[in-house]
């Protein structure tokens, strides 16, 4: 029985209509009323399912790849996370890709650039670095680094370092959906460092101070957001502000020149849940990939509970109800996230609701 709702398609099949549809199909056309309800849903209905990947389950398999492939042969040694509803586009959620990359001391993953934007969040190991458009950036635990759209980038671990694992985040599925992706390999494999090490941090990570000069690129000139100042800022914020009932104390990583997101297509944030803090549920358009950077707790996503601890990765699909809770009564818990909110916002598609009590 079809419900007869005014303004929604409600046409019964008759032999005449069946014949008509067959004729339209032969002309590579179709009757809108047969698909209108599907292509114009009442509200977003994500193909992505809420997921959590336990680091404890993944880590050994990530390390196994060290003996199986080289960065030379594989390009990047990465185990990527597949959402069962988004396998066809290699997304972890929505139009966002994520994976775990591993490198041994002394290895280099050669330079390339692409139209998709990327980020890294450092999970373990010492001595990792990334070179972005000639800027060499040293990477430590819980540091967040950008390799924006079109920038040459290579990674490595110094000979005195240890095996390093980091999370990659990219908008590859989105850029492919837009049929706008390009990929190039740098002749000669590696860039020559054109600037002092960590110079973008020296220039742009000051306390709300910026150097003279202009910057015309659409991404943040600050390429690395270090953990220590991020955590210190979160602690100060959490001690003096109520924060959000839905997110606790959440700070957005920002382009220091605009106050806006770090890249045009990917936003990122770090949130702190105070000891014992449990947030209220809300839902909004836009997808997010989370990594627990500190502590432990759980999130309820679309009615399903996911317990997380340090380094676990989970996803919140667009328009899914979600709430977070810190498991500890004495320690704070921190969640890193990257999301597609810059795209959602710039297209005027942001919508948010709190769950009725
Ligand atoms: C990429 O460039 C990296 O630079 C990692 O480390 C993962 C996945 C898809 C496409 C490009 C990297 C990637 C990627």
120 Cα–ligand 1 center, Å: 10
Contacts 24+ apart (CB under 8 A), 52-56: 52/306, 52/307, 52/308, 52/312, 52/313, 52/314, 52/315, 53/81, 53/312, 53/313, 53/314, 54/312, 55/123, 55/309, 55/310, 55/311, 55/312, 55/313, 56/312
Spatial CB neighbours of 341, under 8 Å, sequence gap ≥ 6: 261, 267, 286, 288, 350
The predicted structure's pLDDT at residue 173:
98
**Is the model's pLDDT at 2 over the cut of 80?**
no
Average pLDDT over residues 218-230: 98
172 Cα–ligand 1 center, Å: 9
Domain boundaries, the chain: 51-354
Average pLDDT over residues 237-246: 98
**Is the model's pLDDT at 185 over the cut of 50?**
yes
Residue 237: pLDDT band by 50, 70, 90 thresholds? very high
Residue 5: pLDDT band by 50, 70, 90 thresholds? confident
Hey, whose CA ends up nearest to atom 8 of ligand 1? 170
**Is the model's pLDDT at 312 over the cut of 70?**
yes
Average pLDDT over residues 265-284: 98
Average pLDDT over residues 205-222: 94
**pLDDT, tens only, 119-160:** 999 999 999 999 999 999 999 999 999 999 999 999 999 999
Evaluate: CB of 168 within 6 angstroms of ligand 1.
yes
The predicted structure's pLDDT at residue 7:
81
The predicted structure's pLDDT at residue 1:
39
Average pLDDT over residues 171-175: 98
Burial label, 135 (beta-carbon count in 10 A; 0-12, 13-18, 19+):
buried
- Name the average pLDDT for the chain: 97
**Is the model's pLDDT at 230 over the cut of 60?**
yes
Q: Which fold has domain 51-354?
A: Jelly Rolls (2.60.120)
The predicted structure's pLDDT at residue 3:
55
Of 76, 80, 137, 166, which is best to mutate to test ligand 1, by the most ligand atoms within 8 angstroms of its C-beta? 76
Average pLDDT over residues 243-260: 97
Evaluate: CB of 170 within 6 angstroms of ligand 1.
yes
Alpha-carbon torsion (229, 230, 233, 239), positive or negative: negative
DSSP string, 108-169: EEEEEEESS-EEEEEEE-SSEEEEETTEEEEE-TT-EEEE-TT--EEEEE-TTS--EEEEEE
Residue 340: pLDDT band by 50, 70, 90 thresholds? very high
**pLDDT, tens only, 47-101:** 999 999 999 999 999 999 999 999 999 999 999 999 999 999 999 999 999 999 9
């Amino acid at each position: 029985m079809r419900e007869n709702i005014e303004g929604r398609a409600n046409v019964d099949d008759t032999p005449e209509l069946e014949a008509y549809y067959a004729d339209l199909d032969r002309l590579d056309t179709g009757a809108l009323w047969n698909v209108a309800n599907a292509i114009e849903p009442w509200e977003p209905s994500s193909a992505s399912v809420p997921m959590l990947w336990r680091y404890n389950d993944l880590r050994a398999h990530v390390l196994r790849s060290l003996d199986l492939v080289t960065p030379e042969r594989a390009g990047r040694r990465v185990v990527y996370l597949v959402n069962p509803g988004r396998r066809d586009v290699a997304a972890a959620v929505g139009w966002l890709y994520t994976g775990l990359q591993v490198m041994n001391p002394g290895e280099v993953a050669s330079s390339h650039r692409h139209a998709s934007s990327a980020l890294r969040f450092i999970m373990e190991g010492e001595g990792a670095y990334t070179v972005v458009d000639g800027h060499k950036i040293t990477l430590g635990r819980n540091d967040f680094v950008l390799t924006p759209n079109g920038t040459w980038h290579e990674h490595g671990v110094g000979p005195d370092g240890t095996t390093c694992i980091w999370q990659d985040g990219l908008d590859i599925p989105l850029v492919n959906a837009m049929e706008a992706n390009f990929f190039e390999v740098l002749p000669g494999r590696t860039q020559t460092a054109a600037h002092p090490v960590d110079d973008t941090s020296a220039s742009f990570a000051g306390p709300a101070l910026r150097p003279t000069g202009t910057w015309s690129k659409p991404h943040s000139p600050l390429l690395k957001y270090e953990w220590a100042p991020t955590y210190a800022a979160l602690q100060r914020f959490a001690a003096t502000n109520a924060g959000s009932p839905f997110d606790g104390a959440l700070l957005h990583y920002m382009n220091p020149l605009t106050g806006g997101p770090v890249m045009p297509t990917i936003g990122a944030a770090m949130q702190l849940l105070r000891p014992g803090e449990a947030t209220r549920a809300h839902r909004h358009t836009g997808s997010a990939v989370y990594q627990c950077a500190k502590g432990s707790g759980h999130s309820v996503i679309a009615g399903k509970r996911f317990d997380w601890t340090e380094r676990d990765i989970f996803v919140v699909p667009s328009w899914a109800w979600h709430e977070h809770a810190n498991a500890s009564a004495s320690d704070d818990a921190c969640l890193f996230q990257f999301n597609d909110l810059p795209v959602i916002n710039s297209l005027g598609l942001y919508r948010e609701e709190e769950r009725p009590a």
